[in-house]
Amino acid sequence: MRVKIINPNTTASMTETIATAARAVAAPGTEIIAATSPAGPASIEGHYDEAVSVIGLLQEVRRGEAEGADAYVIACFGDPGLLACREIARGPVLGVAEAAMHAASMIATGFSVVTTLARTRIITEHLVRTYGMAHVCRRVRATELPVLELENPASDARRLITAECQRAIEEDGSGAIVLGCAGMADLAEHIAETIGVPVIDGVAAAVKLAEALVGLGLGTSKKGDLAFPLAKPYTGALSDMAPATA
Ligand code: 2AL
C-alpha cells in the first residue's frame, strides 16, 4: 500500500526526518511517499501559519489522489486542514496529533504532550477537546523551542525536550508522553530509553494506524460532510483549487 505523508511546512530537511521515522515503522509492503508542502510557512507555529499551510497541504493531497495514494498522514502536530483533506481523499487521512493521542490513551490512563513554543499549546489544547481526550491528557507542556531549532544540530533541543518529558512524568502523574511536533520524530526512542515510559511520536503512530485502516478495507466515508466538495468556481489566485466537477 502507498501511504503519503505530507509535511505541511516547507522545510525539506524536516520532511527527511519525518520520512525516516515513517519508513522505520512501515510494514514491508508499505511504500512511504514523503512530500513537502510546495508553498507556505517554513514552520507552523500559530493559527495564521496553520491556515496558510493548508493550501499547499491540500495541493499535495490532490496530487496524491492522482498518484494512487491509499492513505495520508498530515505531519504537523496541529493537524491542520484534517477534515478538508478528508473531503478530497478516498482513503483514510490521519493527523499525527490525533494518532498519537489515541495511541497514548490505549496504553496509559494519563499522558502529557511536550511541544515547542508556548503559543502553540492552545492549538493542542483545542485538539485535546475535539478528540475527546480531555480526561486522559493531563497537561500540554511547552519547551519554548522554535520548530526550526529542532533541525539545528547546535541547538540543545534533545536535552531540553528530554528534561521536559522527565518533569511531565514527575509532576503531571502521566504514564506516557506524546511528542508535540512532527519534527521530533527522531527523538522518541532516545527519550523513552532515558525516562523509562512510552514516548509516542505521532508520525510513527499515524503510519501504523493508516496501515491498519487500509488493511481493514476502510476509507474516508463519502456520505455526508466528508463527501467530495461541491463543484463551483473559485476565483483569483485560488482558482486552481476549485473542486473538480466529477
Ligand atoms: C509543528 C509541527 O509539527 N510542524 C511544524 O512546523 N509545527 N507543531 C508544533 N507544535 O510546533
Looking at the fold, whether 74 and 107 belong to one and the same domain comes out as no
Looking at the fold, whether 107 and 173 belong to one and the same domain comes out as yes
What separation in angstroms does the CA of 244 have from each of 44, 52, 233?
29, 22, 10
The set of residues, in sequence order, having a beta carbon less than 8 Å from that of 136 and lying 6+ positions away, is: 101, 104, 105, 108, 109, 110, 111
Judge whether residue 94 has pLDDT over 80. Answer: yes
Give CA–CA dist 224/237, Å, rounded: 29
Looking at the fold, whether 143 and 21 belong to one and the same domain comes out as no
**CA-proximal residue: ligand 1, atom 4 (nearest):** 76
At 2-14, the pLDDT tens digits run: 999 999 999 999 9
User: What is the percent of the chain with per-residue pLDDT over 70, rounded to a whole number?
Assistant: 99
Atom of ligand 1 nearest to the CA of 181: 3
Looking at the fold, whether 9 and 71 belong to one and the same domain comes out as yes
**To test the ligand 1 pocket, which listed residue (10, 44, 126) has its Cβ within 8 A of the most ligand atoms?**
44
Atom of ligand 1 nearest to the CA of 43: 6
Do the Cβ atoms of 169 and 194 come closer than 8 Å?
no
Q: What is the pTM of this model?
A: 0.97
Looking at the fold, whether 77 and 114 belong to one and the same domain comes out as no
In a domain, 17, yes or no: yes
Looking at the fold, whether 108 and 139 belong to one and the same domain comes out as yes
Q: Is 138 helix (H, G, I), strand (E, B) or coil?
A: strand
Looking at the fold, whether 151 and 213 belong to one and the same domain comes out as no
How far, in Å, from the CA of 45 to the mean position of ligand 1? 6
At 30-46, the pLDDT tens digits run: 999 999 999 999 999 99
Look over the chain and give the mean of its residue pLDDT values, rounded to a whole number. 97
Residue 12, CA atoms < 13 Å, CB-side half-sphere: 2
Pocket around ligand 1 at a 6 A CB cut-off: 9, 43-45, 76-78, 115-116, 120, 147, 180-183
- The count of structural domains within the chain is 2
In a domain, 209, yes or no: yes
Structure confidence at residue 245 (pLDDT):
62
Give CA–CA dist 246/239, Å, rounded: 17
**To test the ligand 1 pocket, which listed residue (54, 181, 184, 203) has its Cβ within 8 A of the most ligand atoms?**
181
Cα radius of gyration rounded to whole Å, the chain: 17
Cell numbers placing 34: 514523503
Looking at the fold, whether 79 and 171 belong to one and the same domain comes out as no
Do the Cβ atoms of 161 and 170 come closer than 8 Å?
no
Looking at the fold, whether 14 and 80 belong to one and the same domain comes out as yes
Looking at the fold, whether 61 and 142 belong to one and the same domain comes out as no
At 68-89, the pLDDT tens digits run: 999 999 999 999 999 999 999 9
In a domain, 174, yes or no: yes
The CATH number that applies at residue 37 is 3.40.50.12500
Looking at the fold, whether 162 and 172 belong to one and the same domain comes out as yes
Do the Cβ atoms of 6 and 71 come closer than 8 Å?
no
Looking at the fold, whether 46 and 87 belong to one and the same domain comes out as yes
Structure confidence at residue 137 (pLDDT):
98
Residue numbers of the domain that contains 83: 2-95+205-241
